[in-house]
Amino acid sequence: MIRQGKEPGMGIKKEEIFQALTRLRKGLLHILIVIILSGIILFPISKEWLRFLRDTTLRIDFVAFSIPEAFFSLIKLTLYTSLFISIPVIFYYIWKAFSPLFRSRGLILGNGVLVTAILLFYIGALFCFFVTLPFGVQFLLGYQSDHIKPMISPARYVSFCTFFIFGFGMTFELPLILALLSYLRVVNAAFLARNRRYAILLVAILSAILTPTPDIFNMSLMGGPLYILFEIGLILVKVIERKRKRVEISPLQE
């Protein structure tokens, strides 16, 4: 899966970045078309999807604070769901735009990178939806009393859930991001190992931001996997560096 290039010391050039962004811009229209078509298909079942979201994570009825809110909450849910199911297409065009940067540095089997990125995103998102989010929401609802009753807007709840679901999905990309940055020589294993304490601090901060509640239990549901992903990324960086060294030493031995 991994092969080092002939010029392992080659850095990133501005021209390469601009070329990648140009390629990505050409794919934006296709991404937009997919999102719109997905939304058209999904909107007729948006009520059922909103009911499923409520029953899975909230378990109490919504309250609309304005006449059009029910309609706009369905529009918002349809848009976010379209983005969610369009992730493979979005990632495909992002990788198509930036993959030449990595191929020129010896990374082959780019389809493996793409599939891994898609799987990591959905694993993180589903972990949030079925594990972290229900615990967090019920924890927050536990503060209601005879004098405080929750009145939850569907539009705000959709935004609330979407923020955490997409946040978890993107943070689960950490090991793959570290591996790719290692190919570009932006990070190395020694740097990551030396700054592990700062990584732990960053994990704690992200956990506090991305979990619905600040309690230790819910933060650990995010912080634990995120730190494990960091260590996996560190291992991948070490593997890449070992292979790079073997390739650099081989010509000298010949």
Average pLDDT over residues 57-75: 88
- Are 11 and 185 in contact by the 8 Å Cβ rule? The answer is yes
Bigger pLDDT: 201 or 251? 201
Length of the chain: 254
Average pLDDT over residues 39-49: 93
Which percentage of the chain shows pLDDT scores above 70? 89
Average pLDDT over residues 165-193: 89
Q: Is the pLDDT of residue 254 over 70?
A: no
User: Minimum mean pLDDT among 2-6, 24-28, 31-35: which range?
Assistant: 2-6
Give me the pLDDT at residue 94, please: 93
**228 vs 199: CA distance, rounded Å:** 11
Give me the pLDDT at residue 9, please: 42
**50 vs 46: CA distance, rounded Å:** 6
Give me the pLDDT at residue 42, please: 94
Give me the pLDDT at residue 247, please: 66
Q: What is the pLDDT of residues 8-32, one digit of tens each?
A: 345 567 787 888 888 898 889 999 9
Q: What is the pLDDT of residues 91-115, one digit of tens each?
A: 999 999 888 888 777 677 668 889 9
What band does 47 get if pLDDT is binned at 50, 70 and 90? very high
Q: What is the pLDDT of residues 122-163, one digit of tens each?
A: 999 999 999 888 888 887 777 777 777 778 889 989 998 999
Give me the pLDDT at residue 32, please: 95
Query: What's the Cα-to-Cα distance from 161 to each of 7, 91, 165, 181, 252, rounded to whole Å?
Result: 45, 22, 6, 30, 55
Nearest to 94 by CA among 36, 35, 37, 25: 25
Q: Is the pLDDT of residue 213 over 70?
A: no
What band does 186 get if pLDDT is binned at 50, 70 and 90? confident
How much is the pTM? 0.84
Give me the pLDDT at residue 152, please: 87
Give me the pLDDT at residue 28, please: 93
2 alpha-carbon distance from chain centroid: 23
Domain layout of the chain by residue ranges: 14-170, 173-246
147-153 long-range contacts, CB within 8 A, separation 24+: 150/60, 151/63, 152/58, 152/60, 152/62, 152/63, 153/62, 153/63, 153/64, 153/65, 153/69, 153/73
